[in-house]
């Protein structure tokens, strides 16, 4: 008697495809300054890629403070040179910028703050400048200072990258790259493809 049912066909073994891990980038201060000052092509190219791919991108308010401090220093140098001070001697006078009577005038401080505040809200509107609030952030920063050859500033940046759940840290500081690579995937802007490959490499 003929069967009304089709012959049994074993279901082929299907290997599930794991979707790629979505990158979540943490940007060090020097990378953002590269773009503002248009001084490093690979950083500018990376920012265009971030916008195109709509990658999550984070940094901290500490980065904003570092940008302010860097620009304060540059403005102080420019002012001294404009006064006729030899550039070769200006570096030795930088410590004076924290002293009353030698510090930048308020008009310069306000101008610099407005400049970076505008950039963070417009040019870098797709970057989240976040505040470190968790106790674990401070604990990690202290741990990194205790166990790594790392500056306080870099320890804070690394701790915030971890605290915010980032999986790739982008910086051009080679010393920071070498140290932080034990904790998180690190890369210079031009090495982003290699970092993405590492991110999606199967665990052993």
pLDDT of residue 16: 52
Query: 44: closest CA among 170, 202, 194?
Result: 170
For 23-51, the pLDDT digits (tens) are 999 999 999 999 988 888 999 999 999 99
Q: pLDDT digits over 79-128, tens only?
A: 888 888 887 788 777 777 787 777 888 999 999 999 999 988 888 888 99
Rounded Cα gap, residues 110 and 114, in angstroms = 6
**In CATH, what class is 24-60+107-199?**
alpha beta
Q: Cα dihedral angle (37, 43, 46, 51), rounded to 10 degrees?
A: -20
Q: Supply the pLDDT for residue 11.
A: 53
Instruction: Give yes or no for a contact between 23 and 166, defined as CB atoms under 8 angstroms apart.
Output: no
Sheet holding 56-60, edge to edge: 128-130, 56-60, 24-27, 168-170, 185-187
Cα dihedral 185, 167, 133, 139 sign? negative
User: Please, which pLDDT band fits residue 192 given cuts at 50, 70 and 90?
Assistant: very high
Distance CA 150, CA 158 (A): 10
The half-sphere exposure of 66 on its side-chain side, counting CA atoms within 13 A, is: 18
Which structure tokens are listed for 181?
């690579």
- DSSP symbol at 187: E
Backbone angles phi, psi at 185, to 5 degrees: -65, 125
Listed in sequence order, the DSSP H helices in 41-180 are 41-53, 61-82, 87-90, 106-121, 135-147, 152-163, 174-180
Q: What percent of the chain has pLDDT over 70?
A: 89
| pTM for this model (two decimals) | 0.82
């Amino acid at each position: 008697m003929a069967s009304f049912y089709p012959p049994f066909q074993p279901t082929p073994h299907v290997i599930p495809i794991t979707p790629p891990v979505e990158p979540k980038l943490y940007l060090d201060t020097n990378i953002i300054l590269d773009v503002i000052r248009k001084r490093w092509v690979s950083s500018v190219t990376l920012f265009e890629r971030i916008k195109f791919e709509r990658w999550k991108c984070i940094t901290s308010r500490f980065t904003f403070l570092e940008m302010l401090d860097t620009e304060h220093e540059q403005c102080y140098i420019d002012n001294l040179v404009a006064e006729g001070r030899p550039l070769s001697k200006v570096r030795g006078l930088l410590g004076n910028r924290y002293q009353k009577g030698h510090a930048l005038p308020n008009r310069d401080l306000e101008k610099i703050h407005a400049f970076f505040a505008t950039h963070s809200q417009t040019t870098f509107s797709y970057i989240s400048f976040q505040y470190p609030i968790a106790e674990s952030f401070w604990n990690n920063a202290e741990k990194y200072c205790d166990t790594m050859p790392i500056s306080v500033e870099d320890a804070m940046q690394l701790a915030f990258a971890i605290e915010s759940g980032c999986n790739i840290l982008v910086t051009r500081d080679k010393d920071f790259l070498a140290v932080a690579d034990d904790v998180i995937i690190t890369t210079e802007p031009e090495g982003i493809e290699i970092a993405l490959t590492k991110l999606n490499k199967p665990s052993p």
